[in-house]
Structure 1
């Protein structure tokens, strides 16, 4: 068995931070970081890394129909589609920043009411739908020709740098502004604000396009929880699994998505990030390393996507005998590579 773990968010993103991981007890991860063979990877978002693994062009891949196929109802959409994700825009100083739906705790009733308003007001641009309260889609009347930035590249950053560009960019910028007016005035948001919750005051369009003819599967088994990766697996002819721990993996080579720490890392939210990393140590890193020692795992690879430049660490059982290579803490590894 060859096991490949892809762990976005494992690298703490602030280059000025110190002490973010020095109290964490991570013996298995430290062993992997210390004795494994290291390789630099491109500067990428997790979505771009996954596209590369599926041997497709990250610049032109349509995330929206793939993510839609990966939702719980596994709906395959063969017409153009956009992600139209609910978000909260707010000023921090002079910058307008985006907070994604993962921070908004949107209920099913709220999503339905807001989508009813959008579909009534913007029927000319297409039809909105929401298979989950925090992931929305637009079936467009006229697919955009503009370049649209991925949500993960925009989250927590000044949106001025990520607005639609080229092609019909002005059309989509105007549409976003008009949607913001409708959402701002909706009773749902007045109720949320009265309760001390952030308003759902914008949508972010991204991932436009149609399903690719097919994708190349990167492994025999693909284990993933995020809809985008699950949709990629289905487009590659693999039905994704959703194992909770290493012990739940099916027999055979596997590529596993471990996104638990990613969302907290985007928001520099230290406590949940630390909790997620400790949980990954117990559920994945420690048992995988034990399986490598026992010989049931032949090679163990850890890929860490990062927009400053990713890292890949690979080791086999023989690397464990390299006594001169000492364990390396996650904090030491991060500071050595990113400070």
Structure 2
């Protein structure tokens, strides 16, 4: 049993007030039984993907020293439709255009309906098909794209870009130039689309862009999850690895109170379950992740003096979490 916790700590949520009073008894008990075995802090080449995404890929048997983590192809293969053709997820989104930067708003905050999403995709289809892209609707914020144009295009994960200047994460690669042209065409197409006119009348953000993510070709070797795809990349992967999304929204938006409440709930549920599993079986793994680091703890034999040290110096959850954003 391996529990991966994204946003266990966040650079957007750091300060004495964040840690004061954050009581996580199950995490503290779990840390007293585990030892830190792996520290994942990626070089620039892997900065396109968050550490927890790389841990998911590692659990699937993929190489993580690559610019492509093919979550879209993985989903298709999990549905029994494996393909050697490059694939990607396409998410409709809103870019807030300022004087010197373009910031991506959280697509979830669009509250885009299925009908609106399908209408927008229908309008875009002739342009997509002209570039050899087969795009099918999966959900309001996830469209599945497939085609040669997606080969060798390094794409940043959606969570990397939310709230950030999109120019910092646009693929700087020759293979991305047709996609950049397509992005510009879609912005012009969507500007006066009836869906956006209606959204403007309701004072809602319009859909004025899309973001490609999870691009690539599924490795020949590697695991295909038995569990169905549940939304954003890897809400669950092949058992017994579980990835929690409980802290994601609060961390992305710097909501300290919501993040603390989510941690208390997580401690009482998934962390408590892992603790009981470790006590019952003597096995278990915990990965705590921030935006740029992941620390993995496992059950491992310890020398007698280490056991005594741990008995009298029980690790503090706050210290373990702060280490994710200070190392």
TM over 0.5: yes
Which of 153, 165, 176 is residue 169 of structure 1 equivalent to? 176
Query: In 1, distance between residues paired with 2:164 and 2:297?
Result: 29
Contact 1:223 1:256 in 2 (8 A): no
Matched with 2:27 is 29
Contact 1:264 1:273 in 2 (8 A): yes
Matched with 1:323 is 311
More helix by share: 2
Query: In 1, distance between residues paired with 2:313 and 2:186?
Result: 56
The CA RMSD over aligned residues, in Å, is 3.1
Map 1:101-120 → 2, pairs under 5 A: 101-120=107-126
SS in 1 for 2:40: coil
Contact 2:153 2:216 in 1 (8 A): no
1:311 equivalent in alignment to 2:295: yes
1:270 equivalent in alignment to 2:278: no
Q: What's the offset of the Cα at 1:229?
A: 3.2
CA offsets, 1:198-243, max 9 Å, x none?
Answer: 222211123333333231489xx9798556437964xxxxxx5xxx
Change (3 A) 1:230 1:15: closer
Query: In 2, distance between residues paired with 1:138 and 1:216?
Result: 21
Query: In 1, distance between residues paired with 2:228 and 2:194?
Result: 40
Map 1:184-203 → 2, pairs under 5 A: 184-203=191-210
Structure 2: gaps of 5 or more residues: 43-49
Q: Which deviates more from structure 2 when the two are superposed, residues 106-115 or residues 190-199? A: 190-199
Query: In 1, distance between residues paired with 2:164 and 2:130?
Result: 30
1:335 equivalent in alignment to 2:322: yes
Which of 92, 117, 121 is residue 86 of structure 1 equivalent to? 92
1:96 equivalent in alignment to 2:102: yes
Q: What's the offset of the Cα at 1:291?
A: 4.1
CA offsets, 1:174-201, max 9 Å, x none?
Answer: 1111112222221212222322322222
**Which contiguous aligned blocks of 4+ residues in structure 1 show a shift greater than 6 angstroms?**
221-224, 316-321
Q: What's the offset of the Cα at 1:151?
A: 2.1
1:66 equivalent in alignment to 2:70: no
Query: In 2, distance between residues paired with 1:227 and 1:338?
Result: 24
Query: In 2, distance between residues paired with 1:217 and 1:68?
Result: 10
Change (3 A) 1:69 1:106: farther
Change (3 A) 1:47 1:327: closer
Matched with 1:5 is 3
1:155 equivalent in alignment to 2:162: yes
SS in 1 for 2:206: coil
1:259 equivalent in alignment to 2:265: no
Structure 1: gaps of 5 or more residues: 234-239, 241-253
Contact 2:137 2:144 in 1 (8 A): yes
Query: In 1, distance between residues paired with 2:272 and 2:307?
Result: 14
Matched with 1:237 is none
Query: In 2, distance between residues paired with 1:123 and 1:134?
Result: 20
Matched with 2:146 is 139
Matched with 1:205 is 212
CA offsets, 1:100-154, max 9 Å, x none?
Answer: 4233221111111111111134330223222111111222364344432222222
Q: What's the offset of the Cα at 1:290?
A: 3.5
